[in-house]
Every structure is written in structure tokens, then in C-alpha cells.
């Protein structure tokens, strides 16, 4: 799992402790619960050394009715926004690394009866692979003054 998605999942769970699903949601799922599917991504150029990936994650929040689902989704979004969109990154053990993922956009909407969606968007940068090259070793140069 992408470490940024895992960090968002951990953060949302701390704000709304409930059953989390990452695979398909079973027919008899628990309420309340949240479903974290794989994010939708697209790439773009960034700098001469990096490319950017924009991630879009649609978290489904299930509750007893649409109003409660939307209330919790909006509460989570408001907390993310109040923290300037900064979510602490966690490692594989769940320990905070000291780095952050910055959420650029959070949207909420009611999707179905008892279901609200929290749409989370963020950008990440990755270095291009560098080509291997043989470094120059001995360079001899003759120089002189032109007459």
C-alpha cells in the first residue's frame, strides 16, 4: 500500500475509530465503517529532476443514515483543513516519521443512503531515474597564450 494512503487511513481512523476496509466491502459490512480503495493517479512533469503524481482518493464512510455519514465526513474534512492539510506520514509499524503529506483538496458528498464520500487530493514528487555514466578520470590539457 502507498505510504501516503496508509498515513491518511491511520489519520482518519484516529478521527473516526471504526472498521476499515481496503479490499472489497463485504455484503454484511459493519456500520460505522470506512472503505479505502486504491487512489486514482495521473502523472505530470515537475522539474528537470522530478515528475509529479496527483493522487485522488475516494474514501467511503458508512453510517446508520446519510446525515450521520455526511456529518462525520464533514467533521473529518474540517479537521484536515484546520491543520493546513498536513497529515503526518507513518512508517510500516505505524510510527510517525516526522514528515507530512499535504492535502491540496478535500470534498464531501452524500453518495447513497448511509454513505458519504470524502474525496482527498494531493501531489507527490518523485525523482527521475538517472542514467549511469562513466566519470571522467584523467584529463590532460595543453594551453598557451595566443600570439
Backbone angles phi, psi at 4, to 5 degrees: -70, -40
pLDDT at 146: 67
pLDDT in tens, 62-105: 999 999 999 999 999 999 999 999 999 999 888 999 999 999 99
Q: Domains of the chain (ranges plus CATH)? A: 3-127 (3.30.2000.10)
Q: To the nearest whole number, what is the mean pLDDT of the chain?
A: 91
pTM for the complete prediction? 0.82
Residue 80 CA to residue 23 CA, distance in Å, equals 24
pLDDT at 8: 97
Contact by Cβ (8 Å): 64, 31: yes
Nearest alpha carbon to residue 39 among 54, 19, 17 = 54
For 113, residues 6+ apart whose C-beta sits below 8 A from its C-beta are 65, 66
Amino acid at each position: 500500500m502507498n505510504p501516503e494512503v496508509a498515513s491518511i487511513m491511520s489519520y482518519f481512523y484516529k478521527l473516526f475509530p471504526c472498521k476499515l476496509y481496503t479490499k472489497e466491502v463485504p455484503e454484511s459490512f459493519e456500520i460505522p465503517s470506512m472503505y479505502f480503495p486504491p487512489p486514482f493517479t495521473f502523472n505530470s512533469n515537475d522539474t528537470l529532476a522530478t515528475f509529479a503524481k496527483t493522487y485522488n482518493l475516494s474514501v467511503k464512510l458508512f453510517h446508520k443514515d446519510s446525515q450521520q455519514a455526511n456529518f462525520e465526513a464533514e467533521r473529518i474534512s474540517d479537521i484536515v483543513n484546520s491543520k493546513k492539510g498536513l497529515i503526518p506520514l507513518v512508517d510500516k509499524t505505524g510510527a510517525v516519521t516526522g514528515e507530512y503529506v499535504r492535502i491540496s483538496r478535500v470534498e464531501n458528498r452524500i453518495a447513497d443512503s448511509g454513505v458519504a464520500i470524502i474525496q482527498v487530493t494531493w501531489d507527490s514528487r518523485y525523482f527521475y531515474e538517472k542514467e549511469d555514466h562513466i566519470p571522467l578520470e584523467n584529463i590532460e590539457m595543453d594551453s598557451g597564450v595566443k600570439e
